Structure 1
Amino acid sequence: MIKRNEVKIEETWDLTHLFATEQLFEEAIKTVIEEANLIELNFKNKITDAKKVLLVLAAYKNLNEKMIPIRTYASLAYSVDQTDDAAQMRSAKVGQVFAKINADLSFITSELLQLEEAILIEAKNLSPDFAHYIEKLIRKKSYLLHPDAEKALAAFGATFDAPYELYNTTKLVDIQFEQFEVNGKTYPLSYNLFEGDWELESDTEIRRAAFEAFSTKLRQYQHTTAKTYDMHLKIEKTESDLRGYKSIFDFLLYNQEVDRELYNRQIDLITAELAPHMRRYAKLLQKVHGLEIMTFADLKISLDPTYEPRISIEESRAYMKKGLAVMGENYQKMLDRAFDERWIDFAQNHGKSTGAFCSSPYGYHPFILISWTSRMNEVFVLAHELGHAGHFYLANAEQNVFNARPSLYFIEAPSTMNEMLMANYLLENSNDARFKRWVISTIVARTYYHNFVTHLLEAAYQRKVYEIIDEGGSVNASILNKLKRSVLQDFWGDDVEIIEGAELTWMRQPHYYMGLYPYTYSAGLTIATQVSQRILREGNRAVEDWVNVLKAGGTKTPIELAQMAGVDITTDKPLRDTIAFIGSLIDQLEQLTEEIDHI
């Protein structure tokens, strides 16, 4: 794995779009500190009427817009090389500065909610731009603490983020993987190589050896990682109790604007009703690959590994343009800009964050991180992240900084939608049975397995963890391993052997440090599946509705956003229909495999 300074510049993102020089970055920090001080001087203990409400919100909005590129620059520079001392110190500095600013300005929320509600309603009526923000403030009123307590909590912001930072430092800096050996030949190993290549390797001996080597190294860090996670959970539980929520679940779901019913439904229905379909898929993989035993280490392999083409970064651009053409001309221009202006970091290097993500700073273009392996399935990963980019490209242009971001429940709908659109395009443009099987198997193995199985099983495990924490308990490596193993065994039954090391997959997921996030992937894909089917049936009318949903940003609840797109998530019908759709895809894979085997 090469170092960051050895990668090709054209495979990296261009952070100069945020700050051209380090000096400008430092000057921006000074500016926001000064503006925060002015806001405190001008407004603390002085917010008495509707006009003052609007003045302080306008000043706070402008400050937030200036803070966003600072936070983004520090975070993105650190994410591509967490071994970089300068990036570590820059990120730490921003965390400390912003914690102080947030503490100093915590009075804004406290004073606003101490006003009579009639004053807030008057301010809302005077300025529609701030109406949604004020409504959300009023909703939070019963959970607000004393102003001094709010200031203290805000001051500890950087400290409360420490578990996530510790997790990433352990994972991406301290853990050093040795090479592993198969039949006298050695192979390199790292987080990105395992998750991007070795998990998908068609050679069973190499794949299983890589899994064993990877798990052996993870196990050496399980106790530190478990203690870090337990610390994070205790912080969440403490704040939940302090604010008076009935449970930690209610606390974490509050900002998602959904209730426990939607949360539990997603986990319970999929665990019960999707499992039989996915077990069939596992059996099909076992049959095609001639495996005597199907193990957990074999679940990510391709149904037809000899067919999957290799694809260059430039070739991926053509797929994005064609596959997402249905989204319209403005969307196409965004895709061109993403490649031409280096919004995407494709490089693989030591210290880089695993997986893929999209950061969409308000007032700037999005930035996408991915570690390009040249496998065709990366087309779906890139389409996914461009879905996030397209969402905020449109929402940020239409909404103010307070209104642009929707509920976490909805956040994965636009990203998974792009995966479905890409699949629709590929299937519409070929009648070849083998190609159709490859596309459908990729949808199942990449889109649905990743979002409806991997992340859903993480959610089922996470729920068990939070139940322990909510009762006042603690967790350690032994407990977490048992919980993860039980979830995997319940889902896969006797059809997949949950081998040693499978229980350690809880160590690999940063989403556990982001609240109740894992289950939202299946929630988003449920919406995306239904809307993508509607686009196939209705064409431009459905596309126009979807674009309007994206533009709405966070001005609507998840239920309202889904309704705008023609989906009613207040019932279990969309989820059951999506599970049935996955079952029909596996039916097609079984039929196509039988057809191909008899040619």
Structure 2
Amino acid sequence: MVKQLPKRSEVPTEETWNLKDLFATEEDYTSALESLQKEVTAFEKKYQGTIKTAEQVVAVLKDYEAIYLQLIPLGTYTNLASSVDQTDDEAQMRDSQFGSISAKIGSQLSFVTSELLDLSEEVLQQAMEQSEEYSHYLKELIREKQYRLHPEVEKALAAYSSAFDAPYGLYNTTKMVDMNFEDFTVDGKAYPLSYVSFEGDWESEPDTKKRRAAFDAFSSKLREYQHTTAKTFDSHLQIEKITSDLRGYDSVIDYLLFNQEVDQSMYHRQIDLITEELAPHMRKYAKLLQDVYGLEKITFADLKAPLDASYEPKITVEESKKYINDALAIMGPDYLDMVKRSYDERWTDFAQNKGKATGAFCASPYGTHPYILISWTGSMEDVFVLAHELGHAGHFYNAHKKQNAFNSRPSTYFVEAPSTMNEMLVANHLLSNSEDLKFKRWVISSIISRTYYHNFVTHLLEAAYQRKVYEKIDAGGSVNASILNELKRSVLEDFWGDTVEINEGAELTWMRQPHYYMGLYPYTYSAGLTISTEVAKRVLDEGQPAVDDWIKVLQAGGTKTPAELAQMAGVDITTEEPLRNTIAYIGSLIDQLVELTEQINAEAQLTNS
């Protein structure tokens, strides 16, 4: 039974993360912010107009990094505090205030990049030779040079950064504060509904009447806010289009791919190949669900239903430790120590409460430990989600040890590989520990419905839809709710064909995803999982040598391109082979589910006869 969500003040402290590791008191935060503002002003006065030689380049970068290191915990603190309770006016105002101050700081510091890029490449090369620590940063700066604008324009754009981020803030406020869901009714009985309870419980409810009723009620509320949400999204898109044009990119897609360090061929291949070749496998999975549930027709609202609800164990946070530790033990003692600390030191916010951001994420501020947000419902899916976020934590835990603050973050194309790698390790561990048919089916169905459905279907179809949106924006157009609904429905219908009925409300799923405000992010989930599927096979086949390679990849942080990082792990993502291998693997898992279901049904018939 899903209960009404408590207020943030009502949840147990042990279920929340400990932000005191960032700032022990509010006074400490305020003092640090005031100190930073003074240092930025002094930095600007000391260095502006003085950067001429290689020695001066190294000196300014050293002090620039010191300021950056002070900025990180401040932004993390305000963002995390607001993400767990969007109804907390004080936290929201603090976050908004920091955004404005951060924009001013960014404007004050914009001269650094502009003056560095005004130098000759000869001077920059000399600085790279003098300082290995900053050589990668300077190399990336040179790559960006052709798209930089006049220093005064860059300063103005930096000053507007918090205003440019406003659509994302408005999206979250609409979603988490203004939307209040009424109870829905099935057979005369009322059930509570919220964003968190729908995505954490009702969407995968085994009772078809309740699942479909919850979907209809949830969609009905989304529909009330579709025009505001569409206008918010269009504002974000127009900002991206203007910025892309100003900087001289050929398209918004090129602009958004630049920092990912991949070209359009890798982007389009990921979407096109999966849409075309994975669809037949997923339609077979949908048909299996339809048969198991005895449905006359399967709808979009049924696709997250568990294959065997009777075999789904409820798992507490405490019980999750054994699953996580056993599955990730192969990563070594240092990695497991990080996992242990995450529990012991309250790195994770497990609570369910009103106003908390949906989904899950891991923030990894340089200079302190990672923070994980999740809303624990007690399902096995939560174990996979936690393992996923610990994958992000383990990535930056390792990268921060070996790289400076400028070099620690890799391209977003690669960033989901370490997270999905952990999901694969959990799945492989569970599969290797039982020969029971029903348990094997449950594990494989968890891999399909959680890991691959989430990353290769949900996020991939978001990417296909997102590409259609940017094609319109690049052609000089804009979008509204009707256009977005039409685009989303067409993507779903193309993928699922006649197998799944795309029922009313499915077209509104574009409203649920915050990733659209983070550039071309959705497709990177399938890209990361393609890499991690191949690496997980290596780990199974080769053991420690593959793990050692993977740890080196994590430690490399952002010092290499996605293709180079994957190559270090033994995967060549410049070809179609890894992606085709992964799609074939998904197909083989679905075939196993069909075979196991037939075997289980046959045994049940023998037992009953």
TM-score range normalised by the length of the shorter chain: over 0.9
Aligned partner (choices 466, 471, 480) of residue 470 of structure 2: 466
SS state at 2:359 partner: coil
Partner of residue 541, structure 2: 537
Runs of 4+ in 1 over 3 A off after TM superposition: none
Partner of residue 140, structure 2: 136
Partner of residue 14, structure 1: 18
Output aligned runs, 1:444-459, within 5 Å: 444-459=448-463
Aligned partner (choices 111, 114, 125) of residue 121 of structure 1: 125
SS state at 1:186 partner: strand
1:178 is aligned with what amino acid?
E
Output aligned runs, 1:498-509, within 5 Å: 498-509=502-513
Percent same amino acid among aligned pairs? 66
For 1:581 and 1:523, the matched residues in 2 are separated by 15
Partner of residue 82, structure 2: 78
SS state at 1:81 partner: coil
Partner of residue 271, structure 1: 275
Q: Report the Cα offset of residue 35 of structure 1.
A: 1.2
Q: Does 1:56 align with 2:96?
A: no
Output aligned runs, 1:514-593, within 5 Å: 514-593=518-597
Aligned partner (choices 413, 421, 444) of residue 417 of structure 1: 421
Aligned partner (choices 372, 389, 395) of residue 391 of structure 1: 395
User: Could you give the per-residue CA deviations for residues 225-256 of structure 1, whole angstroms, max 9, x where no partner exists?
Assistant: 00000000000000000000011111000000
For 2:56 and 2:273, the matched residues in 1 are separated by 49
For 1:435 and 1:324, the matched residues in 2 are separated by 20
SS state at 1:309 partner: coil
Partner of residue 606, structure 2: none
Q: Report the Cα offset of residue 477 of structure 1.
A: 0.1
SS state at 2:500 partner: coil
User: Could you give the per-residue CA deviations for residues 449-476 of structure 1, whole angstroms, max 9, x where no partner exists?
Assistant: 0000000000000000000000100000
Q: Report the Cα offset of residue 377 of structure 1.
A: 1.5
For 1:459 and 1:98, the matched residues in 2 are separated by 30
SS state at 2:309 partner: coil
1:373 is aligned with what amino acid?
T
Give 5+ residue unaligned stretches, structure 1.
none
Q: Does 1:192 align with 2:157?
A: no
For 1:245 and 1:181, the matched residues in 2 are separated by 52
Partner of residue 152, structure 1: 156
For 1:5 and 1:397, the matched residues in 2 are separated by 36
Q: Report the Cα offset of residue 386 of structure 1.
A: 0.4
For 1:300 and 1:140, the matched residues in 2 are separated by 42
SS state at 1:426 partner: helix
Output aligned runs, 1:456-495, within 5 Å: 456-495=460-499
SS state at 1:35 partner: helix
Q: Report the Cα offset of residue 434 of structure 1.
A: 0.5
Partner of residue 92, structure 1: 96
For 1:116 and 1:278, the matched residues in 2 are separated by 54
Partner of residue 375, structure 2: 371
For 2:360 and 2:325, the matched residues in 1 are separated by 20
For 1:569 and 1:92, the matched residues in 2 are separated by 40
Aligned partner (choices 303, 307, 310) of residue 307 of structure 2: 303
1:358 is aligned with what amino acid?
C
SS state at 2:190 partner: strand
For 1:83 and 1:512, the matched residues in 2 are separated by 23
For 2:127 and 2:101, the matched residues in 1 are separated by 31
1:189 is aligned with what amino acid?
L
1:504 is aligned with what amino acid?
L
Aligned partner (choices 427, 436, 439) of residue 435 of structure 1: 439
Q: Give the TM-score, by structure 1 length.
A: 1.00
SS state at 2:301 partner: helix
Q: Report the Cα offset of residue 201 of structure 1.
A: 0.2
SS state at 2:295 partner: coil
User: Could you give the per-residue CA deviations for residues 415-448 of structure 1, whole angstroms, max 9, x where no partner exists?
Assistant: 0000000001001111111101000000000000
Q: Does 1:162 align with 2:184?
A: no
Q: Report the Cα offset of residue 32 of structure 1.
A: 1.1
User: Could you give the per-residue CA deviations for residues 132-164 of structure 1, whole angstroms, max 9, x where no partner exists?
Assistant: 000000001110100010000000010000000
Aligned partner (choices 201, 204, 209) of residue 205 of structure 1: 209
Q: Report the Cα offset of residue 376 of structure 1.
A: 1.3
SS state at 1:568 partner: coil
Q: Report the Cα offset of residue 39 of structure 1.
A: 1.1
For 2:343 and 2:65, the matched residues in 1 are separated by 31
User: Could you give the per-residue CA deviations for residues 160-219 of structure 1, whole angstroms, max 9, x where no partner exists?
Assistant: 000000000000000100011111111110000000000000000000000000000000
Aligned partner (choices 514, 517, 524) of residue 513 of structure 1: 517
Partner of residue 175, structure 2: 171
Partner of residue 321, structure 2: 317
Output aligned runs, 1:229-244, within 5 Å: 229-244=233-248
Q: Report the Cα offset of residue 329 of structure 1.
A: 0.4
Partner of residue 36, structure 2: 32
For 1:209 and 1:533, the matched residues in 2 are separated by 41
Q: Give the TM-score, by structure 2 length.
A: 0.98
For 1:539 and 1:132, the matched residues in 2 are separated by 32
Aligned partner (choices 341, 344, 354) of residue 345 of structure 2: 341
Q: Report the Cα offset of residue 38 of structure 1.
A: 1.2
Partner of residue 227, structure 2: 223
2:335 is aligned with what amino acid?
Y
For 2:365 and 2:108, the matched residues in 1 are separated by 23
Partner of residue 607, structure 2: none
Partner of residue 332, structure 1: 336
Give 5+ residue unaligned stretches, structure 2.
604-609
1:548 is aligned with what amino acid?
K
1:376 is aligned with what amino acid?
M
Partner of residue 366, structure 2: 362
For 1:216 and 1:422, the matched residues in 2 are separated by 36
For 2:473 and 2:444, the matched residues in 1 are separated by 40
SS state at 1:106 partner: helix
For 1:101 and 1:234, the matched residues in 2 are separated by 25
